[in-house]
């Protein structure tokens, strides 16, 4: 039994996780993560490790276990994943999204990319450590959270607020949306995530004088709101480079021989192929109107009207963006934040970064590694509140033609089985050597 290598069981575990539907609709109506958490905890206790399953609300379960390291003075590393997935519309898929089918060398299903692939890699590696009795140098805390796809309120956020002792001694973390390869200028390049944009979901409410739709109205809430929304939506946010995006673009220039021109960013971005869409939004702030609501009858001017704006902010620019949105909204429009989360940016340097690069090079000699910014967010935002520095590192060596980044939350999510085995080997090396 002890000679089961991570790559021997990572594919099966990924398939079985996909087969447990953990759709997160964001309103508590989904199946929850309890079943997946029990499956995960079962795999951990089977190899003799203590494991804890805890719920933030009925059915919303997360899993944590700690593998003790040899050096009690070394800080702990958190290796985490999330158990939930975004919903899938069966009729749009060419396979059953919860079938976990292995077809033509690929594992298909919701979560194959985001992020039951990495969950399986983590589980296969920790099971190998337990079976062989090996000890990492430092404590490794393995966590599998609920609710990442709805901001982590019932998962990582809850754990940080209510169970911070689970992460005692930890200073760094690795998780999703980074470490995968893209082919840039013909060179396989791994994108290591060292920054995340912040988010601020704003609600705008405009007020005016209610009245009959046949009268002259100079104080119409719908008119006021519509004008505010149009100004915010059409605002031309300038391109601004952070240390991470500067390093990323410099690296891409070097690989392709194409210079970055802030007046024409697409010139360099198109060298990135399918990854261009993924990183394009990390060069500027965005403020997208996403919902309008107001009124109840064709001939009644309502007293108020409401809009929602999805703001995504570059590292350190949360306050700046809010001020500009307030200015654009103008007088008579109230602005409140419905949900917000911090931006993150850490240096592409240090022992952990070096160890991640070394682990990749050991399995893919000569590969290029670049830091990049994620336009969305991960549970690393929650962990950052405990002073923990997070990276996106779910290593996958991918075929050049696969539009991997386009499959996050997409239809027909799939990941090559060989990529998963590669990732398990890289992760195993990283945890063994760091
Ligand atoms: Zn995810």
Structure confidence by residue, pLDDT tens digits, 365-379:
999 999 999 999 999
The per-residue pLDDT for 278 is 84
- Cα of 73 from ligand 1 centre, angstroms: 32
- Cα of 221 from ligand 1 centre, angstroms: 39
The per-residue pLDDT for 241 is 94
The reply to whether 305 and 404 lie within a common domain is: no
- Residue pointed to by tokens 């000679």: 3
The residue-averaged pLDDT of 38-42 equals 98
- Cα of 132 from ligand 1 centre, angstroms: 30
- Cα of 305 from ligand 1 centre, angstroms: 34
| Residue 19 forms part of a structural domain | yes
The domain spanning residue 305 has which CATH number?
3.30.70.360
Are 175 and 380 in contact by the 8 Å Cβ rule? The answer is yes
| Residue 218 forms part of a structural domain | yes
Question: Is residue 118 scored above 90 in pLDDT?
Answer: yes
- Cα of 395 from ligand 1 centre, angstroms: 14
- Cα of 408 from ligand 1 centre, angstroms: 8
Higher-confidence residue of 336 and 400: namely 336
Confidence band, pLDDT 50/70/90 cuts, at residue 270: confident
The residue-averaged pLDDT of 309-338 equals 97
Distance CA 140, CA 66 (A): 6
Structural domain span for residue 37: 6-194+344-433
- Cα of 81 from ligand 1 centre, angstroms: 8
The residue-averaged pLDDT of 321-344 equals 96
- Cα of 17 from ligand 1 centre, angstroms: 14
The residue-averaged pLDDT of 154-162 equals 98
- Cα of 56 from ligand 1 centre, angstroms: 19
- Cα of 208 from ligand 1 centre, angstroms: 42
Distance CA 373, CA 392 (A): 10
The reply to whether 330 and 386 lie within a common domain is: no
Look up the pTM and report it. Answer: 0.93
> How many residues are given for the chain?
434
The per-residue pLDDT for 101 is 97
The per-residue pLDDT for 273 is 83
Question: Is residue 327 scored above 90 in pLDDT?
Answer: yes
The reply to whether 81 and 226 lie within a common domain is: no
| Residue 269 forms part of a structural domain | no
The reply to whether 415 and 292 lie within a common domain is: no
- Cα of 154 from ligand 1 centre, angstroms: 15
- Cα of 149 from ligand 1 centre, angstroms: 7
| Residue 11 forms part of a structural domain | yes
**High-pLDDT (> 90) share of the chain, %:** 92
| Residue 246 forms part of a structural domain | no
Task: Work out the mean pLDDT of the chain and round it to a whole number.
Answer: 96
- Cα of 144 from ligand 1 centre, angstroms: 11
**High-pLDDT (> 70) share of the chain, %:** 100
- Cα of 225 from ligand 1 centre, angstroms: 34
Cα 241 vs. chain centroid, distance in angstroms? Answer: 21
- Cα of 288 from ligand 1 centre, angstroms: 22
Confidence band, pLDDT 50/70/90 cuts, at residue 275: confident
| Residue 76 forms part of a structural domain | yes
The residue-averaged pLDDT of 159-168 equals 98
| Residue 1 forms part of a structural domain | no
Confidence band, pLDDT 50/70/90 cuts, at residue 274: confident
The reply to whether 103 and 164 lie within a common domain is: yes
Confidence band, pLDDT 50/70/90 cuts, at residue 341: very high
Domain boundary among 342, 370, 389: 342
- Cα of 177 from ligand 1 centre, angstroms: 7
The per-residue pLDDT for 2 is 61
- Cα of 254 from ligand 1 centre, angstroms: 30
- Cα of 231 from ligand 1 centre, angstroms: 32
The domain spanning residue 94 has which CATH number?
3.40.630.10
The per-residue pLDDT for 337 is 97
The per-residue pLDDT for 67 is 97
Distance CA 42, CA 45 (A): 5
- Cα of 300 from ligand 1 centre, angstroms: 44
- Longest distance between any two alpha carbons in the chain, whole Å: 82
The reply to whether 224 and 314 lie within a common domain is: yes
| Residue 248 forms part of a structural domain | no
- Cα of 365 from ligand 1 centre, angstroms: 28
- Cα of 392 from ligand 1 centre, angstroms: 10
- Cα of 2 from ligand 1 centre, angstroms: 31
* Number of domains present in the structure of the chain: 2
The reply to whether 329 and 399 lie within a common domain is: no
The per-residue pLDDT for 262 is 83
Question: Is residue 1 scored above 60 in pLDDT?
Answer: no
The reply to whether 64 and 120 lie within a common domain is: yes
The per-residue pLDDT for 211 is 94
Are 24 and 87 in contact by the 8 Å Cβ rule? The answer is yes
Q: How many CB atoms lie within 10 A of CB 121?
A: 30
């Amino acid at each position: 039994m002890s000679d089961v290598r991570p790559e021997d069981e990572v594919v099966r575990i990924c398939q079985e996780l996909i087969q447990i539907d953990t759709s997160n609709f964001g309103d508590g109506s989904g199946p929850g993560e309890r079943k997946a958490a029990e499956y995960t905890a079962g795999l951990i206790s089977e190899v003799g490790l203590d494991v804890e399953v805890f719920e933030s609300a009925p059915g919303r379960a997360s899993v944590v276990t700690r593998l003790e390291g040899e050096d009690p003075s070394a800080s702990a590393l958190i290796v985490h994943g999330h158990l939930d997935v975004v919903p899938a519309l069966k009729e749009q898929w060419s396979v059953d999204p919860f079938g976990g089918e292995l077809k033509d060398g690929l594992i298909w299903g919701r979560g194959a990319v985001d992020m039951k692939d990495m969950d399986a890699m983590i589980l296969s590696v920790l099971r190998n450590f337990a079976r062989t009795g090996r000890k990492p140098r430092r404590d490794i805390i393995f966590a599998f959270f609920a609710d990442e796809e709805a901001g982590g309120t019932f998962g990582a956020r809850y754990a940080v607020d209510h169970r911070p002792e689970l992460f005692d001694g930890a200073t760094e973390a690795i998780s999703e949306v980074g470490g995968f390869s893209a082919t840039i200028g013909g060179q396989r390049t791994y994108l290591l995530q060292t920054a995340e944009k912040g988010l601020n979901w704003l609600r705008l409410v405009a007020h005016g004088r209610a009245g009959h739709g046949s009268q002259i109205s100079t104080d119409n809430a719908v008119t006021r709101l519509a004008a505010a929304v149009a100004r915010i939506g059409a605002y031309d946010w300038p391109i601004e480079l952070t240390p991470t995006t500067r390093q990323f673009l410099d690296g891409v220039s070097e690989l392709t021989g194409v210079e970055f021109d802030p007046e024409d960013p697409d010139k360099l971005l198109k060298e990135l192929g399918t990854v261009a869409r993924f990183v394009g939004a990390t060069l500027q702030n965005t403020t997208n109107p996403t919902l309008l609501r107001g009124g109840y009858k064709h001939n009644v001017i309502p007293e108020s009207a409401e809009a929602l704006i999805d703001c995504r902010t570059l590292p350190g620019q949360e306050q700046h963006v809010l001020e500009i949105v307030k200015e654009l909204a103008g007088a008579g429009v109230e602005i409140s934040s419905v949900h917000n989360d911090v931006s993150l940016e850490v240096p592409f340097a240090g022992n952990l970064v070096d160890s991640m690069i070394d682990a990749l090079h050991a399995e893919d000699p000569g590969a290029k590694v670049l830091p990049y910014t994620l336009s969305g967010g991960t549970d690393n935002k929650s962990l950052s509140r405990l002073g923990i520095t997070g990276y996106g590192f779910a290593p996958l060596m991918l075929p050049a033609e696969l539009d991997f980044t386009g499959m996050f939350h997409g239809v027909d999510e799939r990941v090559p089985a060989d990529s998963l085995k590669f990732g398990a080997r890289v992760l195993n090396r990283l945890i063994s050597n760091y």
